[in-house]
Amino acid sequence: MKHKDKAYQWWKSKPTHIRKPLVLTLGALLVLISPFTGILPGPGGIPIFLLGIAILASEYDWADRFKHLVIKVLPKKIQQYWRITPNWLHFFDIFALMIFFIGIAFCIWPLYLPIINMQPSPPFFYVVTDRQQEWWIPVLACFVASLSILLFNKNRLATVKKFLRIKQS
């Protein structure tokens, strides 16, 4: 018997009136805090939400059906109805170029201030402190985001890999 099966049998051997409130409390807590962790870097609240649903599914049939819907049914429906077409690829390319040009605007912004005789006041999203602000952080973020969107297009990434293989040989 596997360790996982032993743990499952041990958990199921506990009385229902103890198991269900614990599962409900922990699962509901994870589901409720998942939107608040959505602002964190990375996947945010999605794994926490799914973990809460998985915990609830161990005792409740409705949560098990919802877990099945999220894990099995929705990905198939999305693949069935939403296919990447050339129009979508053009949209992502244009969006990436817009982000790239915003990054260029952030680069040029400090250079034009002396020409138009303005005092260098930072844009609204900068936190004003006593020292000089790091203007390159949003520039770098824009460039990395646009490069990521441009490169991780499925067809373009394959083309870049093929191009790099040709250059190496």
Higher pLDDT residue, 153 or 51? 51
Residues 153 and 132 in one domain: yes
End residue of a domain, out of 30, 54, 81: 81
pLDDT confidence of residue 169: 58
50 is written with which tokens?
Answer: 């799914």
Higher pLDDT residue, 73 or 134? 73
pLDDT confidence of residue 24: 92
Residues 98 and 163 in one domain: yes
pLDDT confidence of residue 121: 56
What's the domain count of the chain?
Answer: 2
Write the CB contacts of 106 (distance below 8 Å, at least 6 apart in sequence): 135, 138, 139, 142
Q: Are 100 and 143 in contact (CB under 8 A)?
A: yes
Per-residue pLDDT reduced to its tens digit, 6-54: 887 888 888 888 889 999 999 999 999 988 887 776 677 888 998 999 9
Domain that holds residue 40: 3-81
pTM: 0.50
Residues 131 and 67 in one domain: no
Write the CB contacts of 40 (distance below 8 Å, at least 6 apart in sequence): none
Q: Are 53 and 67 in contact (CB under 8 A)?
A: yes
Q: How far apart are CA 80 and CA 72, in angstroms?
A: 13
Residues 76 and 97 in one domain: no
pLDDT confidence of residue 91: 83
pLDDT confidence of residue 30: 92
Per-residue pLDDT reduced to its tens digit, 63-121: 989 988 888 888 888 777 777 777 777 788 888 888 888 888 777 766 555 555 555 55
Residues 65 and 118 in one domain: no
Residues 8 and 68 in one domain: yes
Residues 90 and 164 in one domain: yes
pLDDT confidence of residue 99: 86
Whole-number Cα distances in Å, 153 to 17, 41, 102, 112 = 51, 22, 21, 35
Residues 48 and 92 in one domain: no
Q: Are 35 and 45 in contact (CB under 8 A)?
A: yes
Residues 14 and 66 in one domain: yes
End residue of a domain, out of 81, 114, 132: 81
Q: How far apart are CA 38 and CA 50, in angstroms?
A: 13
pLDDT confidence of residue 130: 47
Higher pLDDT residue, 84 or 123? 84
